[in-house]
Chain A
Amino acid sequence: MTQLALVIDLNVCVGCHACVTSCKQWNTSGQAGPMFDDRPYGENPTGTFFNRVQTYEVGEFPCTETVHFPKSCLHCEDAPCVPVCPTGASYKRKEDGIVLVDYDKCIGCKYCSWACPYGAREFDENQKVMKKCTLCVDRIYDESIPEDRRKPACVISCPTSARLFGDVHDPDSEVSIAIRENGGYQLMPEWGTKPANHYLPRRKTKMHIHEDELTRADNPLKKEDIRHETSKDTTLDDWLM
């Protein structure tokens, strides 16, 4: 059984928000659109976005880490948002595990969003239906798109390729390997929702210097063997026969 998902590599994410706006532009004119913006040029502009990038600080100065943290629907394997939906508008696709909302069925009761611990659903205040990341279903199977671009909009745009896309149930997929080899983890595992999306943690490269490396035979200073003037003081040489 296939479970498509995103794997987000916090080790390289620079928090650029490319995934945020490319998601918006793809989806607003796509099957999930349009995506409402309220007061776009006024006070407290707000709108429907499927993906947000947040920032956290870890530790205290100077031992501070700044973590940029993108988040969209995690396409939970045990998606709590689905069974609570009274209309069946929220559903999880059998064939690929994508969790979707059928806007034509949704009555906008918002109950599904209450049942998502991740705050991943957004209500479209204009269409009055619940929306969320579609994993770009209208891209990833579209054969008119070249195969290597048949990925979610946020994935193709991400400048650091911090967003990997694939089948987390296929142990040989890029995403499964990344999860396995780089300590991939899930958000809020305590709820048993089994998010399909995973995150890869920060990984540090350190350098270890051995003392010997500072005192080497090929030290160029040895070539600048400045001959000091010979000492005028008497030495043993003057005495020993």
Chain B
Amino acid sequence: MEPPVHEEVRTTTCYMCACRCGIKVHLKNGEVRFIEGNPDHPLNQGVLCAKGSSGIMKQYSPARLTKPLRRKAGAERGRGEFEEISWDEAFAIMEERLAKIRATDPKRFAIFTGRDQMQALTGLFAKNYGTPNYAAHGGFCSVNMAAGLIYTIGGSFWEFGGPDLDRAKLFVMIGTAEDHHSNPLKIALSKFKRNGGRFISINPVRTGYSAIADEWIPIKPGTDGALLLALIHEIIKQGLYDRDFLAKYSNAAELVNLDPNSPEYGMFVRFEVPPEEGCFDAQNKLWWDRELNRPVSTHTLGVDPRLLGEFKLSDGTPVKPAFQLLAERVEQYTPEWAADITGIPAETIRRLAHEMGITARDEKIELPISWTDSWDVEHKTITGNPVAFHAMRGLAAHSNGFQTIRALGILMSILGTIDRPGGFRHKAPFPRPIPPCPKTPKGPEDVQPNTPLNGMPLGWPADPDDLFVDEQGNPVRIDKGFSWEYPLSVHGLMHNVITNAWRGDPYSIDTLMIFMANMSWNSTMNAEQVRKMLNDKDENGEYKIPFLIVADAFQSEMTAFADLVLPDTTYLERHDVMSMLDRPISEFDGPVDSVRIPVLPPTGQCKPFQEVLIELGSRLKLPVFVKEDGTRKYRDYPDFITNFETAPGSGIGFLAGWRGKGGEKSMRGEPNPNQWQMYEKNNCVYHHHLPKSYQYMRNWNQGYLQWAQAHGLTRYAEPINIHIYSEVLQKFRLAAQGKTDGRQPPQHLRKRIETYFDPLPFFYEPIESQLSDKHKYPLNAVTQRPMAMYHSWDSQNAWLRQIHTYNYLYVNPKTAAAQGIADGDWIWVESMHGKVRCMARFSEAVEPGTVWTWNAIGKAAGAWNLEANANECKQGFLLNHVISEELPAHEAGAHVSNSDPVTGQAAWYDVRVRIYKAGDDEEKATWPQFDPVPPAPGTPARRGWQSYFAGKFTNKD
């Protein structure tokens, strides 16, 4: 007799990737029967991707950690030899250790997190603990995208904004394979195509989204800056820019002081110098009035400013509008110049510029929506120039990415497409001031024992005084974030943490806690050496990084190195919030946040990491987690979410929906004890629809800005003008030139700062290329995300790993032929840092100077509880072995991170390689190989075969 079938449907939020779609989980006898997209969810509207549809196999994966583990006494790190311990023991170990560190030198505790979505909580924990050594994945992910655009237009692609494909006519996608906006982007793309939109993809490789583009423009990696600047050149030359938009909504018409002897050289001229209160663009700059031919205060009613020309102020100061400087800058960047660099014919570049400019100008959209701008001017309509862009790591993951993305922001701006229909649209909490207000502490004195950090662990420097350095200009953070080496490293540099801690540069630490990051494998560069560093001991036989705590849900490559493993729950087993304080899932039309609510009980001893933090915080008596009397403040994580407020009585908490005692308020209001239930009833999502008049032009939309200020999304309601010309960068440059009174860079970094902190976008060759022998290493090697795999998570997934069981290096047949390589051959990929053996697969869909592979398919033997002969560790390979976390020694230093010099963004895609055939006598397997680790205690048995049938995981036939 079969037991009676009990079917049940529960809603929650997917976390097979960072996109966060709404799901409905069908349960049968308590096992997952089917996961479907929630049709009532704004993000995915009922669809579900390949990963989301494979959630069942994640839930029942044999790689699941189910017990807290301690490294066996005497066992080497990396061998994966553990003993089970209880949570009580685990907490006792952590409490003792962390309390001691906190009482002595809190920066000796570092906590870094990977592709998680709870930075608001982890950040809060770090701040309250008092350590500056905290960051999430942003630095190795796409911080260039965030910083490049936020420092230019006050918002960015990534989770904070995107292309309005509902209304766009032309869509240009640059360097994007799959993205965080996975399902929504796919939904939008197909609608866009069906509506007859034109889709152009610029990418060295044609796969995935690019496959369905109307036109594919192959480009050489790292050269998009040249292309974008040439496009700007052509658009300005042809007069295809939106003059009106630029004049009103950007600093294009603002006059820049060009007196080389002035300490204000390169800064905007201000007609009065009131103390600038707060972090916003004070409206005290000058335009040159076209009619009266003299300077006037910007945004003076009825004035039409000059965008081009050169003028003299009455005191003789030579000035130029910022746009003139831009025009001069791009003068040299002709399509012909760019053609040589990018490999794109000049004719194509010109045509592209014309298509963009003409579409923007001639296909204008006028929406009958009235709104009032920040200068009290009422507008009857909203105008849109329907050219939309989207770009991601193809631009970001290069060491010239920041300036390239600045160029993209400027291109989008001169086309007049910012927060307008058919162009780029913001998502709450963006737009934010340029740069946003939060700042890190400024020096070592801000880190004190038993004291919360004096500032945010991550922030947005506006000038050199905002850096987090000591008197000598040396970094305070272990990752050297916010130092002169990478001043605007707004997301930190997680990719250098292990190397720095190992070398003791800038100092040694005691305990490193890693949450949800596979830092010994796919999210680290130079994986092989980093694994050795994790295992390296000093003269006294002590590990150089003495204590390593890893919180993970699965037996990854990283857990093998842990001294203490904390088993997390899966997304189906825990509460979670996609918070407005962090990275919510907002839509163009208003703020949206969402939650996860457990649909299954935790497996084994699994404990949500949130609960771990709250417990630890309470034990350590960190101020936010305890009452005045030192007793525990929050029962658990759900209780914390319900009751936490950013400041007592602020009415702002993690969740924006159903606030107020009875859930009658939104965005802001007292804690509501029933908030979770209200989310649960509403598909786990809260969607605040802004009135139509607040949905566009938000940088300058008075109504919106005041609403945003009132609801705590932004501190100021001042307009957020686009930074065509970046004073922030100029301030750093002036400091480097020794022209300022404030902090100045150490000598060896002056040149670097002066070069890369150019207030106008410029093109330079990626730094690794500058330092490489390009004859020896003629090719660029890049990776792409496969749509059916999330980083390294999914090799444990029985269904997904059948789709990508191992990976090839894709090579253009011409490139291969030059090396005598045949399709399917075993080859070596070698960079100046290292080499890896893999198999070649021919592809006509890759630019001949580029080779590429799917990211993170290769695995270390035994990891993820795969069998030791799994294809992932035999034929699958990791490109990270040939990428270095540090550049070769050069004038900026011996151990400078392989990153963007402005933001510290990991320059994954700068690596240059050569390929050659592996010898016939060589083993037909990838290299390097690692000794297999055994299954960790508590991981479920690995099935030799399976027939999954909900309700009876079975071996039934």
Contact = CB atoms under 8 A, between A and B. Distances in A.
Contact of A65 (B211, B362, B948): B211
B312 interface: no
B197 A205 contact: yes
Contacts of B951: 29
Contacts of B359: 207
B751 interface: no
A236 interface: no
Interface stretch (A73-81, A111-119, A166-174, A219-227): A219-227
B164 to A, nearest CB: 18
Contact of A39 (B46, B190, B845, B945): B945
Most chain B beta-carbon neighbours within 10 Å: one of A45, A46, A202: A45
Nearest to A160: B190
Interface string A18-57: 1011101110110001111111111111110100000101
Interface stretch (B235-243, B557-565, B829-837): B235-243
A126 B945 contact: yes
A182 to B, nearest CB: 10
B798 A41 contact: yes
A17 B308 contact: no
A241 B950 CA distance: 103
Contacts of A43: 867, 869-871, 874
A61 B39 CA distance: 40
A24 to B, nearest CB: 6
Interface string A200-224: 0010111101000110100111111
B954 A34 contact: yes
Contact of B53 (A34, A148, A157): A157
Given A41-B943, A157-B53, A213-B362, A33 B949 contact: yes
B34 A25 contact: yes
Sorted from nearest, which 9 A-B pairs have the closest CB atoms?
A220-B243, A159-B186, A40-B798, A219-B239, A160-B190, A34-B947, A17-B50, A12-B190, A34-B949
A59 interface: yes
Contacts of A13: 212
B799 A205 contact: no
A57 B844 contact: yes
A84 interface: no
B290 A223 contact: yes
Contacts of B198: 205-207
Interface stretch (B222-230, B421-429, B668-676, B800-808): B800-808
Interface string B833-872: 0000000000111111000000000000000011101110
A41 B866 contact: yes
Contact of A29 (B28, B803, B845, B866): B28
Interface string B477-511: 00000000000000000000000000000000000
Contacts, number: 249
B39 A148 contact: yes
A160 B957 CA distance: 36
Contact of A24 (B28, B209, B244, B799): B799
A157 B37 contact: yes
A195 interface: no
A41 B216 contact: no
Contacts of A33: 947-949
28 contacts: A11-B193, A16-B788, A24-B53, A25-B35, A25-B56, A29-B948, A34-B956, A37-B799, A37-B945, A40-B798, A40-B943, A41-B796, A42-B867, A42-B942, A46-B802, A57-B844, A61-B845, A64-B206, A66-B207, A66-B211, A153-B36, A159-B187, A160-B187, A160-B190, A204-B214, A205-B199, A207-B198, A219-B238
Contact of A68 (B49, B56, B211, B865): B211
A60 interface: yes
A2 interface: no
A87 interface: no
Contact of B49 (A38, A159, A222): A159
A15 interface: yes
A4 interface: no
A67 interface: yes
Interface in A148-181: 148-149, 153, 156-162
Most chain B beta-carbon neighbours within 10 Å: one of A13, A17, A214: A17
A127 B787 CA distance: 31
A18 B48 contact: yes
A42 B874 CA distance: 11
A157 B48 contact: yes
Contacts of B803: 17, 20
A207 B355 contact: yes
B802 A45 contact: yes
Chain B interface extent, by class: 35 or more
A47 B799 contact: yes
Contacts of A187: none
B812 interface: yes
A140 interface: no
A114 B895 CA distance: 62
Given A47-B802, A156-B37, A12 B211 contact: no
B218 A45 contact: no
A62 interface: yes
B70 interface: no
Contacts of A37: 798-799, 802, 945-948
Nearest to A205: B198
Contacts of B358: 209, 213-214
Contact of A126 (B190, B238, B947): B947
A11 B190 CA distance: 8
Interface of B: 28, 33-37, 39, 44, 46-54, 56, 62, 170, 182-183, 186-187, 189-190, 193-194, 196-199, 206-212, 214, 216, 218, 238-244, 290, 304, 306-309, 351, 354-355, 358-359, 362, 787-788, 796, 798-803, 805, 812, 814, 843-848, 865-867, 869-871, 874, 942-951, 954, 956-957
A191 B532 CA distance: 60
A214 B186 CA distance: 33
B194 A12 contact: yes
Nearest to A223: B243
A14 interface: yes
A21 B52 CA distance: 9
Given A45-B798, A46-B802, A66-B210, A18 B307 contact: no
Contacts of A14: 186, 189, 208-209, 211-212, 787
Given A37-B798, A205-B199, A21 B949 contact: no
Contacts of A221: 239, 308
Contacts of B801: 40, 45
A205 B239 contact: no
Given A20-B50, A20-B803, A25-B34, A35 B309 contact: no
Given A41-B942, A157-B36, 6 more contacts: A12-B190, A14-B186, A24-B54, A36-B947, A37-B947, A204-B214
Contacts of B355: 207, 209
A26 B34 contact: yes
B932 to A, nearest CB: 13
B211 A44 contact: no
B944 A16 contact: no
Contacts of A159: 44, 47-49, 182-183, 186-187, 190
A196 B926 CA distance: 44
Contacts of A226: 308-309
B189 A12 contact: yes
A131 B792 CA distance: 32
A42 B802 contact: no
A225 to B, nearest CB: 9
Contacts of B354: 209, 213-214
B169 to A, nearest CB: 9
A219 B238 CA distance: 8
B859 to A, nearest CB: 11
A121 B29 CA distance: 31
Contacts of B214: 204-206
Contacts of A156: 36-37, 46-48
B243 A67 contact: no
Contacts of A160: 186-187, 189-190
